[in-house]
Structure 1
Amino acid sequence: MIYKLTVALLLVLVGALCHAAETNTIPLELTDSLSGEPVADAVVILEDGPSEPPVEAEIVQKNRNFYPHTLIIPKHSRVDFPNQDNTQHHVYSFSPAKAFNIELYAGRPTEPVVFNKTGVVEIGCNIHDQMQAFILITDSAPSGRTDEQGRLTVEIPPSVDDDSGKIELLVWHPRLTDNTRMARFTIEQPSSGSLELSVELSPEPASDDRLDGLQERFREL
């Protein structure tokens, strides 16, 4: 009898622990506050969510473009900038999260760039105005990117749920009116239904060869 009671108690405790360790999920819908249209391919990050170790990554220069256009890395990661074009490039950034300058070069730079501070790093080429890329340095692993309908399911692990019902989300898209930083939302977890958020996007650029603000700042030096 005692044995049966002990087993039953253990099962109850295990069930309680499993319930406490369950990961909550929130369906999210993101729209443009000006047009009301869904925002696709936006990066969503849960503040204080699970972290990842630093990585070795690359942003390749090919056909006078950066690939990938957006790179998401954990803090303290190292990024190389190999040039696969038959012309030289001059890669630089003035962003507070990481300012750097790799002057005219072909092939592969001598050393990768280390990103030790969280934030958004905007990258350009002083020779080719249309070249632009972004690096997002994070403390938490991204929850993912929104689909064509602006939807994403965000997982909320028990370590983030402090019983207040509130969480903080970071959202970034290259066409945010201020894409040099991530939009921050402090929200209450909905008891049912999806979480609806909106951000303000700039219009689609009229041309790929426009002289953007990053290039103008470089030429003012």
Structure 2
Amino acid sequence: MFRLALIVCITVAPLLAAAGTVSFRVTGADSGMPLANAVIVLPRSADSATADASMIQENRQFVPHVLVVPRGTAVNFPNRDNTQHHVYSFSPARTFEIELYAGVPEAPVRFDTTGVVELGCNIHDRMQGFILVTDQQHGVSNETGELTLDWPDDQPLPRQVRAWHPRLADNTNLVEVAVNGASGEAIPLALDVRPAPETDSSLDRLQQRFRDL
């Protein structure tokens, strides 16, 4: 019994000591402005999918604009607008189509392949959203470009992390970004992104036809 207790103590103690976090601050390389919706992926396995997620259509937008889910997650697409939507994706990571509908589709869409899935709506051309599927630890930056992830205190930070943003020149893939900093402070990461597009909330003629359906 004494030997068993000793083994348990030796096994558990390092796990408790390894707890920690690492923070990042993501900005645009040219503008220096904070980047919201930047995804950072660390080289560390994440938990498998355990619950469903939702990509909502509201005010003719996908909410959230960027959704990151573990591989195997089933995603619902509830429509909260007073117009019908026709959601689709041609991305290799997950090609699918939910034809013209209101309310909540009967079945969610399961995402079993890692990668970037770009979403659109056949009725509202300006609607765009993204689902990023990964099996590694990840986080999404807030409006100030910041995010914090769990990282063991007894492990050195990787020299590079993978990053993604909707306005990357090639937003179908993640990019490698060098890490210059230490845990305990917000590590700056700069991404080469395209300028933010001008917003226009007007409806074209096709959208007008479906507004009240």
TM-score band, normalised by shorter chain: 0.7 to 0.9
Letter matched to residue 175 of structure 2: A
Runs of 5+ unmatched residues, structure 1: 1-5, 211-221
Letter matched to residue 169 of structure 1: V
Q: Distance in 1 between matches of 2:77 and 2:172?
A: 20
Aligned to 1:111: 107
For 1:185, which of 177, 182, 189 is the aligned residue?
Answer: 177
Letter matched to residue 77 of structure 1: T
Q: Distance in 2 between matches of 1:62 and 1:90?
A: 13
User: SS state of the match for residue 31, structure 2?
Assistant: coil
Letter matched to residue 156 of structure 1: W
Letter matched to residue 73 of structure 1: V
User: SS state of the match for residue 18, structure 1?
Assistant: helix
**TM-score, normalised by the number of residues in structure 2:** 0.74
Q: Distance in 1 between matches of 2:176 and 2:125?
A: 30
Q: For residues 112 and 41 of structure 1, do their structure 2 counterparts lie closer, same or farther at Cα, with a shift above 3 Å needed?
A: closer
Aligned to 1:31: 27
Q: Distance in 2 between matches of 1:63 and 1:153?
A: 30
Report if aligned partners of 1:61, 1:83 keep a CA contact under 8 Å in 2. Answer: yes
Aligned to 1:166: 158
For 2:134, which of 115, 133, 138 is the aligned residue?
Answer: 138
For 1:203, which of 177, 185, 195 is the aligned residue?
Answer: 195
**TM-score, normalised by the number of residues in structure 1:** 0.72
Give the superposition deviation at 1:52: 3.9
Identity %: 42
RMSD of aligned residue pairs (Cα, Å): 3.3
Q: Distance in 2 between matches of 1:105 and 1:192?
A: 48
Give the superposition deviation at 1:155: 3.2
Report if aligned partners of 2:23, 2:184 keep a CA contact under 8 Å in 1. Answer: no
Give the superposition deviation at 1:15: 11
For 1:45, which of 41, 47, 52 is the aligned residue?
Answer: 41
Letter matched to residue 113 of structure 2: K
Aligned length: 196
Give the superposition deviation at 1:17: 4.1
Give the superposition deviation at 1:130: 1.4
Q: What CA deviation, in whole Å up to 9, does each residue of 1:66-99 have, x standing for no partner?
A: 2222212111111121223333211100111101
Q: For residues 28 and 108 of structure 1, do their structure 2 counterparts lie closer, same or farther at Cα, with a shift above 3 Å needed?
A: closer
Q: Distance in 1 between matches of 2:172 and 2:98?
A: 20
Aligned to 1:98: 94
Give the superposition deviation at 1:146: 4.9
